[in-house]
Structure 1
Amino acid sequence: MPESHSAPAGPRRCPALFITAPASGQGKTTVVAALARLHTRLGRRVRVFKCGPDFLDPQIHRVATGHDCYNIDLWMCGEADGAARLAAAAAEADLILVEGVMGLYDGEPSGADIAARFGLPILAVINGASVSTTFGAIAYGLKHYRPGTKLVSALANRVAGERHAELLRAGLPDDIAWVGALPRDADGALPERHLGLLPAAEIAGLNERLDHLADLLAATGAATLPAPVDFPHPAATAPTAGATPLAGRRIAIARDAAFCFLYPANLDCLRALGATLVFFSPLAGEPLPECDAVWLPGGYPELHGERLAAQRALWSALAAHVAAGKPLLAECGGMMTLFAGITDGDGRRHAMGGLLPGEILMQRRLAALGMCAARLPAAGQTTAGEATADDELRGHSFHYSRAETPLAPFTRALRADGRAGEAIYRLRRLTASYMHFYFPSNPHAAAQLFLP
């Protein structure tokens, strides 16, 4: 949750909009980023949020606005976390945009649940390709599938021309406003790979693409601010209740194209807990900084196998770090680099750190996707059985690789429905898993991962 500890006297009001779609692939992220850039160019302070566990779309939105994009999810992040972040944004912004995930009613909780909880009016982005009057039926269904859904407007994407746009507009029911249409536009398309959109840093000419899309939106009704929304601040906003268990501790964090899955909220949380954060790039050959703990976040190590394999000094330094009893957290891609090797999608094996026994094998089929929670014992405790509900951290997993290892899991995360989920490995103070943790879900438990 935000670092501010004082609550305003009353609710903050700020124009806000929840952007949804009937399904993935309709162009939500493109439209949200273009809206954010358009309003930013108009001199407005824009803050963007992304629903669900997503690292990639928020990178695009940060480029669009110049400000971090935070995640909102009623299960992983928590209702109070979302309320506090929205209230903090409303105190400084002229417009809040919240991008949904998948379709409006998909997931539990869904985007519709999030919009309803925070009173957000909804804009539906609908792919207009190969459809005409049925466009209105889709919008009508989104609005009326659940009584009380505040779907107020619709925008058509990938439209063939003016006549096509007229047909789409004519099909809309009277209670859904027409915002406008975006044409089929290859120049503005955002490229993808197996985990979603490309990271922002890898998209050539991203700023130019966003400006081009903003120019297209400027010709529609999208430049008009939506109605203001009240954002009450929750009674308690400090995630750590003033506790700073990481005070005086330096945490070295890998951050580059191979280690790019970092929630801004996690960094804020570690700082609020008292930690000093130092960043380094394994791909650039930068040495492990002097530190008390290390965090290797997720990313795309399989795409940089040759360069990572060459970083023998780093792997030796990390092995010495763990041997000295110092904490190391390795999440998903970060964990992958600590096994003996990674075999990439083309069948090429790259030697990795060797701190964990076994191999990582990339595959074309999705290996795991979903929310999960882990109960990890506090620093100084030695068995998973010592962990309680107070030690639970929430997060998610999403990966296309599998680990073949003789190492027995220290414990397992549980999926949101209670089924067994990702293995969590522990050697000394090294904690490794495919799970991505959301630290603000339990700052005290997060701090334990970085304590000796």
Structure 2
Amino acid sequence: MSKQPTSAPIVMISAIASGQGKTTVTAALARHFTQAGKKVRVFKTGADFIDPMMLQQACGSPVLSLDLWLLGLPACRALLAEAALQSDVVLIEGVMGLYDGTPSSADLANAFGVPVLAVIDASSMAQTVGAIVLGLRDFGPVRLAGVVANRVATAGHLSMIQSALRDIPLLGSLARQEQALPERHLGLVLPDEVADLDTILNQLAASVTIDVPAWNAIAGVEFSDEDLTMPIVPRLLEGRCIAIAKDAAFAFLYPANIQALKDMGARIIYFSPVADQSIPADADAVYLPGGYPELHAQQLGEAKNWQASLQAFLTAQKPMYAECGGMISLVDELIDQHGESWKMAGILSGTITLQKRLAALGMQSWHSSEGELRGHTFHYSTFACPLTPAAHTSRQKTQDQGEAIYCLGSLQATYFHAYFPSNYVASANLFLTATQNSTHD
């Protein structure tokens, strides 16, 4: 079937490393183009929850993952083709540095012929920006659309940068920001916690300068109608009601996970453990996602209705899946980063201890009889638990043992964050059957 050019330019926004300002620049561009009346779609490479929330606030539409390992090439192609054919601008925020990881942001860009926009923190350099950008372009190589110079001090500073870029376009620049997107130990804070977030985003959009002719010269990627084909999703959860904890303590939810549950036929309802809401009476299964339970430990420890409904739900042998923060909320005790102890729900024996250094990070897989369920882990805590894990995930790069998976009656709990579209059958089974493989001392 003949291919047709997209109606939208697509760029992969990447850098030499984390901390260069990829999210800030992506948010600034998304809000800038949105305010200009353009329909903007944004994707995030890699496993991430918080950056997509910020970027969704900037562009006004859900920000999905676009990752070759999590989704696979056909699904990535279909998502990108749909966005490109229905939008005016498509931005893909990369992960870490351009060539970091397997597959890397460069691999994703090259898989579809997407040009790369290099974000460079220019706060401590000038002409050296040119050397860095040439290296980014030629190492792979990648198709380089141009550069956005971030944290530029003055017009003279910007002129020195531009003179060093040779034949590479300076697509835009962003001055040093008095107000940046705030962060905490797992990355950015949640959008709802930033009272003036829209003000910050508007200021970023107003301060970003864009070379409009250079942007307009970015050619679209070609896709065919066949590229829009997504795999048929089995209706394995038809008629099932899944209750999902969703509030300030349980906020790490892939939009694609929710959509996957809906596509499989599930009806979704939400409730708030922090507000001491019980599990809804009509729920057939419960999903406790990750988040920041350590920031709401007192409320969760005092939430008697929530705790009683947990016990009743599990006594009824209804399936419950808890990941990372969701698992943390179920243990006996939580010791926060200040050394203070908090009582949790007491479902899983053991103590979670927050620490300042990272405990685990990276892509992992959960292998089961239904195949490989892919996802990631990212946490700053450790779990001292007397229970014997029913299984472990495996690390993507080495296939070494990864996170423990605890099964207790109808509960399955783990630090692992699952990406449901990577295996619909395995994901559905988390909410269909009560496991009988109880862990034991």
Q: TM-score, normalised by structure 1?
A: 0.92
Aligned residue number for residue 166 of structure 1: 159
Aligned residue number for residue 319 of structure 2: 327
Aligned residue number for residue 397 of structure 1: 377
Aligned residue number for residue 266 of structure 1: 257
Task: Choose the corresponding residue for 1:437, options 376, 393, 418.
Answer: 418
Task: Choose the corresponding residue for 1:413, options 393, 399, 403.
Answer: 393
How far apart in 2 are the matches of 1:50 and 1:71? 5
How far apart in 2 are the matches of 1:248 and 1:182? 50
How far apart in 1 are the matches of 2:294 and 2:184? 13
Aligned residue number for residue 154 of structure 1: 147
Aligned residue number for residue 56 of structure 1: 50
What is the aligned-residue identity percentage?
A: 47
Aligned residue number for residue 47 of structure 1: 41
What SS does the corresponding residue of 1:62 show, helix, strand or coil?
A: helix
- Kept in 1, the 8 Å contact 2:276–2:304? The answer is no
- Kept in 1, the 8 Å contact 2:41–2:87? The answer is yes
Task: Choose the corresponding residue for 1:278, options 252, 257, 269.
Answer: 269
How far apart in 1 are the matches of 2:77 and 2:328? 35
Task: Choose the corresponding residue for 1:426, options 404, 407, 425.
Answer: 407
- Kept in 2, the 8 Å contact 1:257–1:300? The answer is yes
Amino acid at match of 2:164: G
Task: Choose the corresponding residue for 1:183, options 166, 170, 175.
Answer: 175
- Kept in 1, the 8 Å contact 2:74–2:227? The answer is no
Note the aligned Cα RMSD (angstroms). 1.7
Deviates more, 1:60-69 or 1:76-85: 76-85
Amino acid at match of 2:432: L
1:60-119 per-position Cα deviation (integer Å, ceiling 9, x unaligned): 111011110000111122222211111221232111100001110011111100000021
Shift of 1:435: 0.2
How far apart in 1 are the matches of 2:25 and 2:201? 10
What SS does the corresponding residue of 2:170 show, helix, strand or coil?
A: strand
Amino acid at match of 2:263: A
- Kept in 1, the 8 Å contact 2:81–2:227? The answer is no
1:255-301 per-position Cα deviation (integer Å, ceiling 9, x unaligned): 11111100000001000000000011111222211200000000000
Pairs within 5 Å for 1:234-383: 237-239=229-231, 241-290=232-281, 291-376=283-368
- Seen in structure 2, the aligned counterparts of structure 1 residues 279 and 10 have a Cα distance that, compared at 3 Å, is farther
Aligned residue number for residue 92 of structure 1: 86
Amino acid at match of 1:169: Q
Pairs within 5 Å for 1:178-257: 178-187=170-179, 189-218=180-209, 220-221=211-212, 224-225=215-216, 226-232=218-224, 237-239=229-231, 241-257=232-248
Segments of 5+ residues of structure 2 without an aligned counterpart are 434-441
1:201-220 per-position Cα deviation (integer Å, ceiling 9, x unaligned): 11231111111111112465
- Kept in 2, the 8 Å contact 1:395–1:438? The answer is yes
1:152-185 per-position Cα deviation (integer Å, ceiling 9, x unaligned): 20011111101111111111121x1112321111
What SS does the corresponding residue of 1:422 show, helix, strand or coil?
A: strand
- Kept in 2, the 8 Å contact 1:11–1:87? The answer is no
How far apart in 2 are the matches of 1:279 and 1:222? 46
Task: Choose the corresponding residue for 1:78, options 62, 68, 72.
Answer: 72
Amino acid at match of 1:144: D
Task: Choose the corresponding residue for 1:38, options 8, 13, 32.
Answer: 32
4+ long deviations beyond 6 Å: none
- Kept in 2, the 8 Å contact 1:158–1:185? The answer is yes
Amino acid at match of 1:171: A
Q: Quick check: 1:67 aligned with 2:93? A: no
How far apart in 2 are the matches of 1:164 and 1:150? 26
Shift of 1:51: 0.3
What SS does the corresponding residue of 2:308 show, helix, strand or coil?
A: helix
Aligned residue number for residue 436 of structure 2: none
Deviates more, 1:313-322 or 1:31-40: 313-322
- Seen in structure 2, the aligned counterparts of structure 1 residues 223 and 185 have a Cα distance that, compared at 3 Å, is farther
Shift of 1:446: 0.3
Shift of 1:429: 1.9
What SS does the corresponding residue of 1:228 show, helix, strand or coil?
A: coil
How far apart in 2 are the matches of 1:214 and 1:222? 18
Segments of 5+ residues of structure 1 without an aligned counterpart are 1-7, 377-386
- Seen in structure 2, the aligned counterparts of structure 1 residues 223 and 12 have a Cα distance that, compared at 3 Å, is closer
- Kept in 1, the 8 Å contact 2:82–2:228? The answer is no
- Kept in 1, the 8 Å contact 2:126–2:160? The answer is yes
Shift of 1:242: 5.0
How far apart in 2 are the matches of 1:437 and 1:10? 35
Count of aligned positions: 429
How far apart in 2 are the matches of 1:233 and 1:332? 39
Aligned residue number for residue 21 of structure 1: 15
How far apart in 2 are the matches of 1:29 and 1:372? 24
How far apart in 1 are the matches of 2:346 and 2:214? 53
- Kept in 1, the 8 Å contact 2:171–2:214? The answer is no
How far apart in 1 are the matches of 2:18 and 2:119? 10
